[in-house]
Each structure stands twice: as structure tokens, then as C-alpha cells.
Structure 1
Amino acid sequence: MSADALRWGILSTAKIGVRNVIPALLGAERCEVVAIASRDLDRARAVASELGIPRTHGSYEDLLADPDVDAVYNPLPNHLHAAWTIAAARAGKHVLCEKPLATTAGDAERMIRECADAGVVLMEAFMYRLHPSWEAVRELVASGRIGELRAVQAWFSYFNDDPTDIRNVVEYGGGALYDIGCYPVNVCRILFGAEPDGVSAAIARDPAGGTDVFTSAILRFGGGVGTFTCSTRAEPDQRVHVYGTRGRITVPIPFNIPRDRPAEVHVTAGGDPPVAPATEVLAFGPADQYRIQAERFTRAVLDGDPVPTPPEDAVANLRVIEAIFRAGQTVAGPA
């Protein structure tokens, strides 16, 4: 495909779109946001007026039928990702779909087939992976800067006990593991460069709504392990520690990386006892990971560049998530 700009349509007025993705699209090279849809037309008009989007639609079907839309951004609730991505593909639209790509690996595979059959690009919106700080972390690990990789440890949490929030509705694909646990699962897989050969988990569920509110998992990678906890009922925090045989890396803000200041990566390596290893603080940016995501997707569509966060990787991530859910069902407390 060759064009001066990719024309975007936005499915819904979801907060992540309004606060992060649409502003990034508006500032990205060769991107034009031409339409937004909501089942609440007044809400669509309000967001369009606020952000300068020229056209509104009162249904998702109308947006997909809009001939001036080349690509859609899909931030709908998790359980709707598959259906509306497939509908978009059948309408000839390229799709940037929020993570997790679907709620099952099977649905994600079906999305891939439908998009391939339609000849459109499908990409999972795993924006953190594209930030320069994470490209550096991957290179540090791959180069052996901290020796042989042995462990990845992550924490990701926020507090939200609103029963009406879609993230707390199990039928909508809510819960900690789908919403934020997908990040540490991805980090472990990416840094080890492999799929786990064993999974253990403990899951605490909301007794009323049924979503997982605390999930802790251990992923075994041959001679190494990835461990993490994610929660929707804890003080907001996020952090990743990476341990090797000769050093460690800490990423203080690994996922919701601020766009208004440099991102830090702390590297501690190089010392032999009794000399303590030195810690080097690397700084990257400021950079907007959502804008990088938009521009990389656009290059994949317009220039034929490789998709940087391919949907096949989303399938593998979902298989691990499914394994964690299965493992968590087997955990019982003392009698």
C-alpha cells in the first residue's frame, strides 16, 4: 500500500484511547484521525470536539463502513476484541488492537486467519516493547552484560474495586491477569527468548465478581525462572528486576512509561568480590511509546515494514495466560 497518510477510525471512546492513543496518533507522522464511533453518539461528538476529530458515528458498524477509514484502533473491552477485529478485517480495515489481543489463544488465532484472508495488517498494541528503554534492556541481556540470565521478577498493581468498571467484570475479560498480568508474562518470554516449560500459580478472586484480584505466577525457563504478581487491589506500583550470573537490571517504571521525562534503566554489574559492583543509571527519552507504536504500525501498513508486535506473539502470550489460570485453579489452602 502506498499513500501519504494512514486514515484512522477509533472504535469507542475508551479512556486509554482518549488519554493516550488518540493524542499520539494526532501527533504521529503520516497519521490522520478521521472518525470516532460510540454507541453513545453524544459522547462521540464530545470527544471529537475535544480532540479535533472531523467525523463521528453512532455505531461501530457505521465506522467500519466509512470509506475514508483505512485502519481502526480497537480498545473495546477484552471480550469484544475478536468480534470487532474480525468485523473490521472483513470491511477491509487494518487493525491495531489493544492487549490482550483476545481472551483465548483460539480466538487470537482466528483473528490472525481472518486478517490474513482479508489482506490487512493486525498488530497487538503492546506499546511498552517499542520504547527505547526496553530495546536497551533486551540488548543488555542478549549481550551478556549481566552474565547468563537467571531470573526475571515483576510487580504490577493498581487499586480498583468499582464493581461497574469493565476491568472488574469477569464476563468482559476483566481481572488482573488479563489487564496487567499480560505485561510481565510478555517481559519474561521476551527476555528469556523462549516459551516457559512449566507454570505454577496462585490466584485470589473477588468473591462477588469472580475476577482475579491477585495473581502470582512462576514461569520456568530451563535453568531460569520468571516470577510476578499482578493485582487490582493494591497500591499502584510497577517494577521489573532482571538477574544474571554477574549483574542485575532494574526498570523502575517499566510499563506506563512517562512521556514527559527520561525513562531510567539501572544496571548493576562488573564487580568481583570483595569489590562491590557499580550501578549505572541509563536514561532514554523523553519518548512517547504510544506515538512510536502508531508510527511503527503505519510503516507496516504503508511501507510493508515488519509488524513490531506481531499477533503470533500474542497467541503465545495467551497460551501462557491460559496455563496460569489452569495452574491457579489447583491451589488450595491448609485444611
Structure 2
Amino acid sequence: MAGQTKTIRWGILSTARIGVEKFIPAIGRSQTGTTVAIASRGLERAKAAAADLGIPKAYGSYEELLADPDIDAIYNPLPNHLHVPLTIQAVEAGKHVLCEKPVALNAEEARQLLTLPKDRLVAEGFMVRAHPQWIRAREIVRSGELGELRAIQSFFSYYNADPGNIRNMADIGGGALLDIGCYPMVAARYFFEAEPSRALSMIDRDPVMKTDRLSSGILDFGEGRRLDFTVSTQMVPYQRVNLYGTKKRLEIVIPFNAPQQQETVIRLDDGSILGDGAVISETIAPSDQYAELVDTFGRSILGDIKLPYGPEDAVQNMAILDALFASEKTDGWAAIG
């Protein structure tokens, strides 16, 4: 690692809101990282962000930041169509890269990441898998307390009809499936600890922006196991994950945007009293899932642990999304490959 330091020195590509509000503060709360530089396409924006966040260096181009020898790892929260190109540039500059989801626009583009030098780590930034509430929920699944896990249901929505927002620009990877549909499918892969073989979708597109604004899908995990989910960019904000077993149900109340440094809750229900009358709640201690992700990636760079999810995992995520879009075109099941 550059400089043989025990602290991972992070460079941030862009002044994107998720980086400024979530990721950079989380680096400061992590045990392994420090933010040393931030870049924007405009130097003044970079300088302003650096001043606000106490970051030592500011760059007016991404290339300048990537050329900085004092940076070990890059966080890439750029618009979706720039994820793969800038990740490749960063790795070629000798940096490790944690890239925001979705890692690419499709699986074919994502497969470019598989050809990069293996001495640089690349991962897709699903912070949810680092949160203690997800880890605890999977412990319960593995214990058999739910019985056989048969079905997972998820809903995730927010309202954003601004045509100037990158989430609503179809040509650069906007829309519900790419932005938030990836979360339910990652949840199902995580809790089933298996891969789906086929996908079925129902998609409603905005007539003007052409992005999918309301998308539902089913993923077939075989052996009678399935995920069904709905995501939307133009509905009341809501999110939930329910895991249904043969004995009990487990509910993650705020599964995706868990509040940083606050308690969260999971609920167990054996169904003995309808209307949630038998629900038992378990409180998860305050945590910052972004800081947990920073430390997971940082410890992987340092060689303390093996990287849990690398480029292969990111390619699989894109293959599932590709199948959901393929199902929209054929109005039927699409194989995942």
C-alpha cells in the first residue's frame, strides 16, 4: 500500500450529496480512514467542500486527484454512467476503489472491472450489508428460528419528479430499478445466501422522462424461494424488508437508509396473534453503516480481512438488473446470466 501507512487515505470524486453528507463524515468516524482530498469539475466547488469538511486538498479535476500519490483509496459517487470509466482510471492510477451503486449501466460494462489488476481492490458500495441490523437478521435466519426461509418481500420508494435530477435522466442510468431496485435484490441474495436463476418484472415509465418510475419484480431462487419487490421514484417515501419463514417472520423496519449513529429495530412475529399482536422487537445499538463499510473496505486493503464482496459480486448484481429490464421487453420471465 502507498506509503505503508496504517490509515487509509481517501480521495473523493465529486461533491455529490451522498459523499458530502454521508460518506465523508463516516470516514471521519471510521477506525481506518481519513479524507485527504476532494475533486470537482470546478475548483471553487471543491475548495468550498474541502473548507466545510476540513479536507486538506481540493482539486479542480478528477484526473488531478487520481494523480495524487498520497491517496490510497477512491470513493466514486459520480453519476451512474461514469462509475466504470472513472473506476478504471482510478485503478490504473494505482488506487483502490469503492464505487457507489449501481456499479455500471449493465453487466457487460461491469465486466470490464474483472480485467483490472488484482492488487487493487474494487467493490460496489452497498453499505447495508455492513449494518449490524442486517448482520443480526442473517444470524437469526441461519439459526433456524424462522424455520425455512421461503419468501422475501420489500418495498422502497421516494418522490422525485425533477427532470433535472440525475435520477430522472434515462440516458445516464436514471430510474427506480438502477437507483433503488438494486437494494431488495441484494437483500434477497444476502439472506437466502443463494443466487436467482430468472426474473420477472412489471414496469411503468414516466411518459416524459422515460425512466422507470414504478417497478415491481420477482426473482426465483429455486427450491420454492422467491423475492418479490416494488420500488418507485414517484411515490410516498417508505421502505421495508420482510423475511417469511415456515415458523416466523422477521421485519427490518428501516432496512436501507438506516439513520446514522441511531438505534434501529428488527421485529420477530410467530403469527400467533394477527395484527402484529405477537411481535417481539429487538433494538440494534446505534451504528453508522457507512463507517462500517469504510472499515470493511479499509481492513481489506490492509490485509486484515478478505474483501467480502468484489467485482464479481457487482457483475452479478448488474446481471440481475439486466434480466429485469429484459423481462420488461418480452413481458415474461428472463434468465439471469
Query: Which category describes the TM-score, using the shorter chain as reference length?
Result: over 0.9
Letter aligned with residue 199 of structure 1: A
Letter aligned with residue 10 of structure 2: W
1:1-335 matches, within 5 Å, as 1=1, 2-116=4-118, 119-222=119-222, 223-269=224-270, 278-331=278-331
**Separation in 2 of the partners of 1:226 and 1:298?**
32
**Separation in 1 of the partners of 2:101 and 2:117?**
17
Q: Which secondary structure does the structure 1 equivalent of 2:313 belong to?
A: helix
**Separation in 2 of the partners of 1:316 and 1:277?**
39
Deviations 1:181-220 (A, max 9, x none): 0000111122122221221110111111211111100111
User: What displacement does 1:270 show?
Assistant: 8.3
Unaligned segments of structure 2, at least 5 residues: 333-337
Deviations 1:49-104 (A, max 9, x none): 00000111100000001111111100001111000000000000110111111111
Residue in 1 aligned with 2:335?
Answer: none
Q: Which secondary structure does the structure 1 equivalent of 2:260 belong to?
A: coil
Letter aligned with residue 111 of structure 2: E
Q: Contact between 1:41 and 1:56, CA under 8 Å: does it hold in 2?
A: yes
User: What displacement does 1:277 show?
Assistant: 8.2
TM, length-normalised to structure 2: 0.93
Q: Which secondary structure does the structure 1 equivalent of 2:269 belong to?
A: strand
User: What displacement does 1:304 show?
Assistant: 4.5
Deviations 1:92-124 (A, max 9, x none): 0110111111111122221132142xx211111
**Separation in 2 of the partners of 1:221 and 1:33?**
40
User: What displacement does 1:306 show?
Assistant: 1.1
Q: Which secondary structure does the structure 1 equivalent of 2:287 belong to?
A: coil
Q: Contact between 1:263 and 1:286, CA under 8 Å: does it hold in 2?
A: yes
**Distance of aligned partners of 1:157 and 1:270 in 2 relative to their CA distance in 1, 3 Å threshold:** closer
Q: Which secondary structure does the structure 2 equivalent of 1:295 belong to?
A: helix
Q: Which secondary structure does the structure 2 equivalent of 1:316 belong to?
A: helix
Q: Contact between 1:219 and 1:226, CA under 8 Å: does it hold in 2?
A: yes
**Separation in 2 of the partners of 1:260 and 1:287?**
4
Q: Which secondary structure does the structure 2 equivalent of 1:286 belong to?
A: strand
Aligned-residue Cα RMSD (Å) equals 1.7
Using the aligned pairs only, state the percent identity. 48
User: What displacement does 1:178 show?
Assistant: 0.5
Letter aligned with residue 84 of structure 1: L
Letter aligned with residue 185 of structure 2: V
